[in-house]
Homo-oligomer: A and B are copies of this chain.
Amino acid sequence: MRSISSFLFLLSASIAMVAAGERPKPIPLRWGVLAFPQYQGLDAYGPLEMLNVVKYYTPNMTIAVIAETLDPVPATTFNDLDQPVTYMKPTHTIDENVNLDVLLIPGGPRTSMNTNIINYVKNLYPKLQYIISVCSGATILAKAGVIDGKCATTTKFDWAETTQTGPGVNWVPCARWVTDGNVWTSSGVAAGIDLTHAFIKEIFGNETLADRAANILEIDIHKDSSWDPFCEIWNVTAVGTAV
């Protein structure tokens, strides 16, 4: 699709880099997305759509989908009464020692109760360059002890309930996303797309590519991590409290 335009983009980006005397930074190429029953679809699909574009322009970048089994994993619907209509197809199970540089964890209504997934994250984290959570995916990081004493954020809609899973976490009530060392956590659902843009900009060192992905997908990216109207909308007045 638009192969000439894509080639010219790659060429001009390379020329610009050389002209500026920049050395490409080593970037995390081996991505994994965690899939478990009733994950919140858009938590994963938004970042994945951005990453698919980034991957197109990034040689040797891979995206794995990790789950308990290789069976298709159903997303949640907001009400759990109906059959889910969207799925992720795993490429690896949590029992395989797949080598990853970055793991992205979506949220979902039952996220913090999946012991197998929590243990997988607990064991994998020390081997990762970066770990990312979207929405209530932060509850898995909390239960796995990854963010004890660290700053993190999560869904504002379910703030009180969600933050209870990590009493030792410095929950940041008003932030689109939060970084603390190699841990990136976003606010609810759509915030994962802004986090992904910021990650490509900062860690890949390539805002041009991050912007191109957003422009192809016609996404209006929020580039300020402190932008967060939803903490006020949902009356998140302090850590762990919602009125």
A88 within 8 A of B: yes
Since A85-B91, A218-B230 are in contact, a sample of 10 more A-B pairs with Cβ atoms closer than 8 Å, ordered by chain A residue number, is A2-B158, A42-B45, A44-B86, A53-B78, A56-B79, A78-B216, A86-B87, A156-B218, A188-B217, A220-B222
- The verdict on A42 contacting B46 (CB below 8 Å), with A190-B218, A216-B188 known, is yes
Check A158 against B1 for contact (C-beta < 8 Å). yes
A77 interface hit (Cβ, 8 Å): yes
Give the copy number: 2
The reply to whether B48 and A2 form a contact with Cβ atoms under 8 Å apart is: no
Interface set, chain A 1-57, CB cutoff 8 A to B: 1-2, 33, 40-42, 44-46, 48-49, 52-53, 55-56
User: Do the beta carbons of A190 and B217 come within 8 Å of each other?
Assistant: yes
Instruction: Report the nearest B residue to A231, measured CB to CB.
Output: B218
What number of A residues sit within 8 Å (CB to CB) of B?
A: 52
Task: Write out the residue numbers on chain B whose beta carbons fall within 8 Å of the beta carbon of A89.
Answer: 83-87
A109 partner residues in chain B, CB cutoff 8 A: 1
1/0 per residue, CB under 8 A from B, across A209-229: the answer is 000000111111010000001
State A53–B219 Cα separation when bound (angstroms).
21
A72 is an interface residue with CB less than 8 A from chain B:
yes
Using CB atoms, name the residue of chain B closest to A45.
Answer: B45
